[in-house]
A and B are shown apart, each in its own frame.
Chain A
Amino acid sequence: MGFYLAQLLTGLANASSLFLIACGLSIIFGVTRIVNFAHGSFYMLGAYLSYTLVTHLSALGALGFWGGVLVSALLVGVIGLLVEVLILRRIYRAPELFQLVATFGILLIIEDAALAIWGAQDLLGPRAPGLSKAVRILGEPIPQYDLALIVIGPVVLGLIWLIFHRTRWGVLVRAATQDREMVGALGVNQALLFSSAFFLGSVMAGLGGALQIPREAVNLNMDLSVIGDAFVVVVIGGMGSVTGAFIAAVLISVLNAFAVLVFPQISLVLPFIVMALVLVVRPYGLLGKPGSEKGAPADPEAPLRPLNPAGRLAMGAVVVILALVPLVSADFTMILLVDVLIAVLFAASLHFIMGTGGMISFGHAAYFGVGAYAAALVVKWLGLSMVPAMIVAPVASGLAALVFGWFCVRLSGVYLGMLTLAAAQIVWGVTFQWQDVTGGDDGIIGVWPAKWASSETAYFYLALVLCAGGVWLLRRAAHAPFGYMLRGIRDSEIRAEAIGVDTRFHQWMAFTFAGTLAGLAGVVSAFAKGSVFPDVLNISSSIDALIMVLLGGIHTLLGPLLGASVFVLIESWVTRLEYWRFIFGLIILGVVLIAPDGLAGALSRLLAFLKARIRPGTDTKKEALHGQRS
């Protein structure tokens, strides 16, 4: 009995810290509609700052501890405010993808800043004075600090409730959460409202992190490790609902506290499974409202145009040049180019569902990873050779996309994005935990190509054929009725239904199609590296693909090809440097803020500009308006 109570109390203490992070995220999303990955960074900064402050103020005892915690939270709030004013304010009207990637860029920058300031080693914070012992309840030792957290969570919920219901500002925040246009119409100073909400949300994240120091060592992985769970809580609760976040935090943490008793491996995937189930039953979360999932309305895309002769010639030339590369270059160039080819196919498959289909996927790495793992598994356990493995892999990833896609296409907007993320996290968690089959963290090695393809040159040609073939297939599909109708559904579901289209089924098939081709990229990558590790499935890989699409430009079919190539080249160069995350973050922010139509957009503007210079009188603006080259 006492044991179960102890388990319950641990669960509730975890719920409190989870709630603190998640409620800030939910407030920020509710008001600004930004899916803020940097929230994880604010949490981490809260922990680092309070580590420093509390250690320095330790002479003051309890006052030093709690004072340090509060000051850290406020400092994080100020940092959040700076981020909002300097960066996010400029992208409130941008599509979700931009916001997500931008906040991920901020996350990278903050991570390297923390590395520079606090170093790479784990930092063990001091315990809270007066709360450093355990009390015995029904014979079980319960940390006093856990009991304090159990009280703090509901107290914070109560305070926020008071602010939201008893102050004019709170009422405005709630109104903005429900209906953004209305607040604009009321003549409220929106910028101020957004900034203050962002400040409050960041303070909460900082507080969550600061309060965590007696419980876990402060480290540089705190940002990404917490953000997944925080999103889950926000989504389950209903985006924008603080009370919902509290219920969800308790639900997840308590379930988890007991589930690990039965099945210890489940903790990594449990939150995501709960989220998937909740979203299937309640597409807007427990307390969320319909409409809360929509981001800013997007401008309509220009019609698709077939590649003009010059463009087709250029594409052909690229393929021919690639085919000639082995004649003149060294092995390492070919290895790099194989990486580029894989990335291009991966990004193009993501673009098919995101750009053409308008369905946000924050978890596309799942299908890439399933392809890679399927190949590795059949090689390891069934002893299959490369060619059969290359057939099995896309089929496996297609099946995975078929299963997850069935759930995903029922949702839209941010909820869809979160469900795709959940799917990827579930696959990652299973792979990571299922040591006996997947090798867990150690991955699977010895996934070598067949003899005939084992030289760098031969494998390069194989990769070229498969990846270029995959990209060709995707482009073909985008120009075919299948892809056109997919775009139609993106533009107007009502119209598509009114001309006889089963919109969900169509989107489902598109999701599966793209997943299959991502799996093809995955298997090419597995044999190129000779091994597979769980990190092909993690959030960062999914975000890499998003960055490639964004970098290239979401509105053209050419975008992902350009974006992926440039991404891999930059990555291979930058990651050699010590603070590569910082540089990468800056590049991402640069693209988002300066060239939101990506490289393809910049390129076409450049071409139009040159054309106008060479042939004065051509109307460049009209050219730009008149359709995307694809």
Chain B
Amino acid sequence: MGNVLEVRSLSKSFGGIRAVRDVSFDLKRGEFLALIGPNGAGKTTCFNMLNGYLRPDTGSVKLLGRELVGIPPRKVWRMGVGRTFQITETFRSMTVLENVQMALISHNRRIFDLFSKATALYRDEALKLLELIGMAAQADRPCAELAYGDLKQLELAIALAHDPDLLLMDEPTAGMAPNERIALMQLTADIVARGHVSVIFTEHDMDVVFAHSHRILVLNRGELIAEGTGDEIRANALVQEVYLGGGSLFHEKETAHA
């Protein structure tokens, strides 16, 4: 199968900080790729360049052969890239269901509709997505009341609404209880297993990373220092060194930062 995403020599500096340096990688269809690295390694910056929130200083990002650099996030989304955020971004004055409906309304290009009742549009599809992530029972709750973990889950439902080819998940489980984490990542893995969507996710919880990802990229100070399967990464001396500040790679504690 061909590559969904081809990233070549991506770099970005903020003032003097070289947040991402010369990062290149490919992503296959149906692949579940983890992007790991210590705090400040440049993971979020990388994501922001992949879907248009930041313009890279150099480099190229090709989605199914089409260049993404220079295209604003809203258009990248229309080309089939979904995104969840490290710090959740939802419409807090709407219900859970309405949040998903808004993505569907936008996908169907009806946001300038002045007359239809928004809450009546794409209800069933939205409910189906909520069922998929196990939040159907919360459909009518105001988003502002949700626990942080639930918001993270809701973001996944929103990101899946337009049936993307590529999903970028920035720390999808941060702030969740351990059992919730396992459930969410299992669910994501199931979706990936259907073979249509490819996922790149960042994560600090190594158990999650090793349990599900097909392949792992390790970023340190903006540079890609290793790439491989879980076993290869575990055995990699350089990665050990980066992570060995306070104990083994397997017990790396998630540093809470939202």
Q: Is A455 positioned at the interface, with any CB of B under 8 Å from its CB?
A: no
Chain A residues lying within 8 Å of B103, measured Cβ to Cβ, are: 499
Asked whether A627 lies within 8 Å of B113 as measured between CB atoms, the reply is no
Interface string of B149-166 (1 = CB under 8 A from A): 000000000100110000
Asked whether A485 lies within 8 Å of B89 as measured between CB atoms, the reply is no
B205 to chain A, nearest CB (A): 24
23 A-B pairs, CB-CB below 8 angstroms?
A300-B92, A300-B143, A302-B142, A303-B94, A480-B116, A481-B112, A481-B116, A483-B118, A484-B118, A485-B105, A487-B93, A488-B91, A488-B102, A491-B94, A492-B91, A497-B73, A498-B51, A499-B102, A499-B106, A500-B74, A500-B77, A500-B78, A502-B74
Asked whether B74 lies within 8 Å of A480 as measured between CB atoms, the reply is no
Asked whether A306 lies within 8 Å of B119 as measured between CB atoms, the reply is yes
- Contacting A501 at CB < 8 Å: which of B92, B111, B144? B111
- Contacting B105 at CB < 8 Å: which of A473, A481, A494, A627? A481
A257 to chain B, nearest CB (A): 41
Asked whether A482 lies within 8 Å of B114 as measured between CB atoms, the reply is yes
Q: Is B253 positioned at the interface, with any CB of A under 8 Å from its CB?
A: no
- Contacting B117 at CB < 8 Å: which of A303, A479, A491, A509? A479
Asked whether B74 lies within 8 Å of A301 as measured between CB atoms, the reply is no
- Contacting A481 at CB < 8 Å: which of B72, B73, B91, B110? B110
Report how many A-B pairs have Cβ atoms within 8 Å. Answer: 116
Asked whether A480 lies within 8 Å of B90 as measured between CB atoms, the reply is no
- Contacting A484 at CB < 8 Å: which of B72, B102, B161? B102
Chain A residues lying within 8 Å of B73, measured Cβ to Cβ, are: 497-498
The interface size of chain A toward B, counting residues with CB under 8 Å, comes to 35
- Contacting B91 at CB < 8 Å: which of A299, A480, A487? A487
Chain A residues lying within 8 Å of B142, measured Cβ to Cβ, are: 300, 302-303, 626-627
Q: Is B115 positioned at the interface, with any CB of A under 8 Å from its CB?
A: yes
Q: Is A477 positioned at the interface, with any CB of B under 8 Å from its CB?
A: yes
- Contacting B111 at CB < 8 Å: which of A485, A490, A497? A485
Chain B residues lying within 8 Å of A473, measured Cβ to Cβ, are: 114
Q: Is A90 positioned at the interface, with any CB of B under 8 Å from its CB?
A: no
Q: Is the interface of A mostly helix, strand, loop or mixed?
A: helix
Chain A residues lying within 8 Å of B83, measured Cβ to Cβ, are: 498
> Given that A485-B106, A497-B74, A499-B161 are known contacts, is A492 also in contact with B90, CB under 8 Å in the complex?
yes
Q: Is A476 positioned at the interface, with any CB of B under 8 Å from its CB?
A: yes
Interface string of A23-40 (1 = CB under 8 A from B): 000000000000000000
Chain B residues lying within 8 Å of A485, measured Cβ to Cβ, are: 102, 105-106, 111
Asked whether A480 lies within 8 Å of B93 as measured between CB atoms, the reply is no
Q: Is A621 positioned at the interface, with any CB of B under 8 Å from its CB?
A: no
Q: Is B85 positioned at the interface, with any CB of A under 8 Å from its CB?
A: yes
Q: Is A495 positioned at the interface, with any CB of B under 8 Å from its CB?
A: yes
A490 to chain B, nearest CB (A): 8
Q: Is B98 positioned at the interface, with any CB of A under 8 Å from its CB?
A: yes
User: Which of A299, A480, A498, A627 has the most chain B CB atoms inside 10 A of its CB?
Assistant: A498
User: Which of B78, B89, B90 has the most chain A CB atoms inside 10 A of its CB?
Assistant: B89
Interface string of B104-135 (1 = CB under 8 A from A): 01110011111111110100000000000000
Chain B residues lying within 8 Å of A492, measured Cβ to Cβ, are: 89-92
Q: Is B95 positioned at the interface, with any CB of A under 8 Å from its CB?
A: yes
- Contacting B114 at CB < 8 Å: which of A476, A487, A502, A506? A476
Chain B residues lying within 8 Å of A487, measured Cβ to Cβ, are: 91, 93-94
Asked whether B91 lies within 8 Å of A500 as measured between CB atoms, the reply is no
Chain A residues lying within 8 Å of B106, measured Cβ to Cβ, are: 485, 499-501
